[in-house]
Chains A and B, each alone.
Chain A
Amino acid sequence: MARIGVFVCHCGLNIARTVDVERVVEAARCLPGVAFAADYAYMCSDPGQGLIQTAIQEQDLDGVVVAACSPSMHEATFRKAAQSVGLNPYRVEVANIREQVAWPHQRAPEHATRKAAQIVGALVEKVRRDERLQPLTHPITRRALVVGGGIAGLTVALNVADGGYPVVLVERADRLGGKVAQLASLYLDGGQGERRLWERIEAVRHHPLIEVLTEAEVVGFEGYVGNFTVHVEPSDPAADASATYDVGAVVLATGFDLYPKERLPEYGGGRLADVVDSLAFERMLGANEILRPSDGRVPREVVWIQCAGSRSPERHRPYCSKICCMCAAKQTIAYRQAVPEGQAFVFYIDIRSQGRGYDEFVQRAMETYDVVYLRGKVSRVVERNGRLEVWGVDTLTGRAARVEADLVVLMAAAVPSAGSGELARLLRVGCDENGFFAEAHPKLHPVESLTAGVYLAGAGQFPKDVPESVAQASGAASKVLKLFAREVLASDPAVAVVDEQLCAGCGLCVPACPYDARELHPWREVATVNAALCQSCGACAVVCQNKATTVRNMTTEQVLAMIEAVL
């Protein structure tokens, strides 16, 4: 007879406010195979885990059901706690009575309590039939691929290589440096930005452990964490030099592009020669030639339009591009220094200068450089007598504002760089609704993607300025270093398995698998499972005509027993 312990968590009041926890415990005690049941305020806390561990030892338990929050939250916590006192971790299951009971049924506590007891009953039936599994292990290829040679990619490559591991850096353009190399200066860097970027590029170029591939793109990708195979081809299809690399980790540092000014017709983008974007103005600053494109004259009045394409859910992009406020302030100061008699205007919605010295920097633009900041959106830019007229509103005076200008600089939205969507699909990395790479958790996993072994750095995840990109890139590097510190990788053994006696080699499971984990054996007429890719979804088990495929610890027998327990 099984000796199963049931542990019901209050989650403070999250569960206990709705579910009558004591009744769930009472009900559990009456279930066949249950030797012990208890409840506690926070089962995940130290004393809560201690309670489980003590019970396993004192009651000689051979299985555990914890009724608490979602298993994605704490299954690992409880399995580890049980394992440390000698219980096989795969004999520990979590009954989700928070997200699936207490929260959705707050208005029906009686129903919720009954449902919680039923879910516990089902999980007890599952644990009774759970196998004692051992984790699977896979070797790791300790080499990293970094996609993108901007400041983020350079930083990742250098950090990983300095940690002692080889890196392949793939850059689409013909040179390294990315967007930062196109900037005339960085704000608040004491004029050192260009030199330091150049130093970093040189360090990457000459690092014995870094292989730099410029004018190259990733075109093929397969495998799983620790064991990826990547196909790289030259950007120029005429060149014939494709190569294949085995890598253990990938960092995506593909950065951003500017929202095309042609898509901002209300501001004359693409139509009026003297309406330029922020990077075009950087080039003027860098060349020390601030001249109007139309006639080569020095512009005496320049208008910067912020949020050009940003914060515009109806027409353009809904989000704030984060970096434009400071970039505009930097450009106005640089312009006023280059053209002391010139006048600078900035149309803005909110001034977002958040960072060390940033707010003070914008204040300096306003006070020392007499930059006129106008709070309001620009409705349109028109051409009149060879000059531009910017029609906007000054929301502080409530009046319409018309500013004549020689040059208009659009602080165009930052969008994911071209091709990052295809790359995301190739690498099975999710994107958010705006096309930026999705991080694994918005708070606590900001540099991890949802695909194990693929990490994110820089503005490809969301617009970031240089210090934030660099810090995040170092963060991504630490994940690679952490992964490579191990000799082998452990993975979940509760995956699909094939009973070769029953398998007819029909192949139905192959297209059913969404993770490319199923294949037919090249010569024996049976189907195989790549355990590292299998996510235990069970789709293959469902289509298998002979019941040859089962998912370990989620067998047909287990599922039927669980259903019976609920009915």
Chain B
Amino acid sequence: MTAGRDGVTRSPATGGHSSSGLPSSVLVVGAGIAGMQAALDVADAGYEAVLVERLPSIGGRMAQLSETFPTLDCAQCILTPRTVEVGHHEQIRLLTYAEVEEIQGQAGDFRVRVRRRPAYVDWEACTGCGLCQEKCPTTVVSEFERGVGKRKAIYTLSPQAVPNKPVIDATHCLHVQRDRCGACQKLCPVGAVDFDQQESVVEIPCAAIILATGYSLYGLERMPEYGGGRVPDVIDALAFERLLSSSGPTAGQIRRPSDGREPREVVFIQCAGSRDPRGHLSYCSKICCMVTAKQATLYRHRVHGGQAYVFYIDIRAAGKGYDEFTQRAMEDEDVVYLRGKVSRLFRDRDHVIVWGADTLSNRQVQIAADLVVVAPALQPHPETARLAQMLDLPTDEHGWLLPLDSNLRPVETRRPGIFLAGSATGPMDIPETVAHASGAAAQALKLLSRC
């Protein structure tokens, strides 16, 4: 049986076995850029990869980004070929909107139970025409748009979603909640909407498991010094990515949430929650310096005459072309870098007043900003803790998965057959993640070659 591209539930894989009768497939948990890369490397080598993703479609964090540093390549443009490739690969089986429930066995012979949530849409029948989303009367705040955009109660994450099949959000659907509406069901040209759909359980035999569960962001609500999430024009870096994105809610126009105006003065705050052992998290989140330099640059490209300020502790631009990119942000884009922490900010009429220190001039700085973009610390995704416990894998004190040896075995774990890919092990930027994920795939391929 070949794997489908649509992620439709089917019987357990029967094709993924070696001549010894043991499974010859690899299960990858998480379909961000790390999980996709690992799955592609495994699949291109001729083995089956089963890619399990919690969300309805693949792509992970990268699908939310506008452009990427240091080349300012459009993230969607370089990601879409890859999501499409994963979606169409004959050796990759997608299980989206699904979670790993139980893992038994050992290297070479794992058995994984995956629970799929009901989409309330028959994905086999659905053509992805989008009519249901257009006609659904219920609009809610979109998690994918990071709160700065909306979605319907029946939705896909983005127009380029793979698989491009919608799910119904039961908590907001009028039909599920109050037995009303049902517009999607009535209007669907192929009758794919199925409110009786139940969750299903799939059993996957596999030889190796790659964990690519990624990261989440430290919540603004945990940082009262930056408004605690209650000041509308203080947003996090991922929300700003959505504002910058041409496929985002503002079609790439920079509009602040409170009144939709174009912000003329934007303050970027780095190390929000990072490098703060007393108040928040002790570690450096590694990617925020470059993310901020990119965002400040893109803001200047979009809003001519706009002014960008960046508060930082150290500028950590360590990578090919990174330091040069940050220099250009300062010199060519006139982004004002201020070395110091922001002590607090508050709303004052239609401004956000930012109080900070400039440790180079040893002065207090006050900026009346139209918009504040906070670069929060990266944290392990909540899924990571659950899987670590299920598999009895060690994490560090912050919850990042620990490799067998931080220097010489960076993708292996103390359990043979279980490998790590990408930022489940700690913050990483995209190229490091991609190389790391290929590294995890190599370990799985090594194991399979002996089966």
Contacts and interface: CB of A to CB of B under 8 A. Distances in A.
B442 A395 contact: no
A444 B161 CA distance: 19
A466 B314 contact: no
A164 B80 CA distance: 34
Given A356-B426, A482-B45, A12 B164 contact: no
Contacts of A285: none
A129 interface: no
A311 interface: yes
B407 A73 contact: no
B128 A47 contact: yes
Contact of B434 (A188, A197, A200, A444): A444
B70 A442 contact: yes
Contacts of B314: 350-352
Nearest to A465: B407
A462 B159 CA distance: 36
A358 B319 contact: no
Contact of B87 (A46, A151, A318, A352): A46
Given A12-B246, A196-B405, A163 B438 contact: no
Contacts of A432: 320-321
A259 B80 CA distance: 41
B274 to A, nearest CB: 8
Given A44-B80, A80-B88, A359 B317 contact: no
A527 to B, nearest CB: 36
A322 B319 contact: yes
Interface string A235-266: 00000000000000000000000000000000
B284 A471 contact: no
Given A42-B159, A319-B324, A470 B408 contact: yes
B56 interface: no
A8 to B, nearest CB: 16
B388 interface: no
B127 A50 contact: yes
A443 B435 contact: no
A447 interface: yes
B418 to A, nearest CB: 15
A470 B321 contact: no
Contact of A47 (B127, B251, B396): B127
B447 to A, nearest CB: 9
A355 B426 contact: yes
Contacts of B316: 350, 352-354
A447 B85 CA distance: 19
B73 A396 contact: no
A357 interface: yes
B405 A192 contact: yes
B18 to A, nearest CB: 13
A289 interface: no
Nearest to B37: A444
Given A350-B316, A471-B410, A45 B435 contact: no
Contact of A356 (B361, B396, B408, B438): B396
Contacts of A197: 408
Given A359-B275, A398-B362, A478-B442, A467 B320 contact: no
Interface residues of B, number: 86
Interface in A404-459: 432, 436, 439, 441-447
Interface in A342-378: 350-360, 363
Contacts, number: 237
B81 A73 contact: yes
B283 A359 contact: yes
A42 B400 CA distance: 37
B411 A474 contact: yes
Interface string B397-435: 000100001111111000000000000011100111011
A334 interface: no
A74 interface: yes
A432 B315 CA distance: 23
Contacts of A439: 431
A142 to B, nearest CB: 12
A151 B441 CA distance: 19
Contact of A471 (B71, B247, B439): B439
The listed residue with most A CB atoms (<10 A of its CB), out of B127, B323, B405, B449, is B323
B162 interface: yes
Contact of A478 (B88, B162, B283, B441): B441
A481 B78 contact: no
Interface in B314-335: 314-324, 327
A358 B443 contact: no
Contacts of B41: 478-479, 482
A192 B409 CA distance: 12
A69 B87 CA distance: 20
Nearest to A159: B442
B244 to A, nearest CB: 13
Contacts of B318: 320, 322, 325, 352, 354
Listed from nearest, the 4 A-B pairs whose CB atoms lie closest are A474-B439, A475-B438, A478-B442, A350-B314
10 contacts: A47-B128, A163-B445, A196-B405, A320-B323, A350-B315, A350-B316, A352-B317, A356-B396, A441-B78, A468-B432
Interface of B: 5, 33, 41, 44-46, 68, 70-71, 73-74, 76-78, 80-82, 84-85, 87-88, 127-130, 159-164, 246-247, 251-252, 275, 277, 282-284, 286, 314-324, 327, 359-362, 396, 400, 405-411, 425-427, 430-432, 434-443, 445-446, 449-450
Given A47-B129, A325-B318, 13 more contacts: A47-B164, A162-B446, A163-B446, A192-B405, A313-B324, A313-B327, A352-B318, A356-B425, A359-B284, A442-B320, A475-B441, A478-B442, A486-B46
